[in-house]
Chains A and B, each alone.
Chain A
Amino acid sequence: GDSVTQMEGPVTLSEEAFLTINCTYTATGYPSLFWYVQYPGEGLQLLLKATKADDKGSNKGFEATYRKETTSFHLEKGSVQVSDSAVYFCALCTQGGSEKLVFGKGTKLTVNP
């Protein structure tokens, strides 16, 4: 079945450091890919998405590129802030198939001042 694998956390960085959170997927067909973020005590919210190969999703300084050849969708940010501390979830949705999202297990990021 479809699945998403994320790098295990937690990840701890200093402010202004570069962030990469790895995400790879297994899916039949051509999925849409997502990053969701969960701030403490809140529900998940969409951070960015990409719907086809080579698309780059971006939002709030975060970026991820849909790489079909490596089945990856790594999340990056050039300079993290304390306010970026949260749990990040990679997810996929198979186009033309099920409407449900399949989530990775999440990666907790802590950014220290």
Chain B
Amino acid sequence: DAGVIQSPRHEVTEMGQEVTLRCKPISGHDYLFWYRQTMMRGLELLIYFNNNVPIDDSGMPEDRFSAKMPNASFSTLKIQPSEPRDSAVYFCASSLWNSGANVLTFGAGSRLTVL
């Protein structure tokens, strides 16, 4: 398996523009997570899905952020409009729930810079 695939790897945009980050999870995994990593706040869970259904979006910072998972092999995280404080590395991770331990496989991340 190619692992969790994220695109783009790097995105530079101007404030106010729409940003769409994409994720392809590992085939067969039933959970998908979106995390954001910054120096100040560390790793923050934004939202996660189980079998394509959003389970917990309490970490989504505000209405400018939205995430979808239209099928088991694809998810998007959208920011509209983007702001400089959204600059971060966004990670997608997937897992196959195994009773007693949830082991995540992370993608390489999408580094977003909002000017």
Contacts and interface: CB of A to CB of B under 8 A. Distances in A.
Contact of A99 (B97, B105, B107): B97
Contact of B108 (A32, A43, A51, A102): A43
A89 B104 CA distance: 13
B102 A101 contact: yes
Report, as a range, how many residues of chain B touch the other chain.
20 to 34
Interface in B43-101: 43, 45, 48, 50, 55-56, 91, 93, 95, 97, 100-101
A62 B17 CA distance: 44
Consensus secondary structure, chain B interface: strand
B91 A44 contact: yes
Contacts of A88: none
Contacts of A106: 42-43
Nearest to B92: A43
B31 A99 contact: yes
Contact of B100 (A42, A43, A51): A51
Given A44-B106, A49-B103, A106-B43, A100 B33 contact: yes
Contacts, number: 60
B31 to A, nearest CB: 6
B32 to A, nearest CB: 11
Contacts of A89: 43
Given A100-B48, A106-B43, A46 B56 contact: no
Contacts of B42: 103-106
Contact of B101 (A49, A102, A104): A49
Contacts of A32: 100-102
B4 interface: yes
Interface string A76-95: 00000000000001000101
Contacts of B105: 45-46
8 contacts: A43-B4, A44-B91, A46-B105, A89-B43, A93-B101, A95-B100, A98-B56, A99-B55
Interface of B: 4, 31, 33, 42-43, 45, 48, 50, 55-56, 91, 93, 95, 97, 100-109
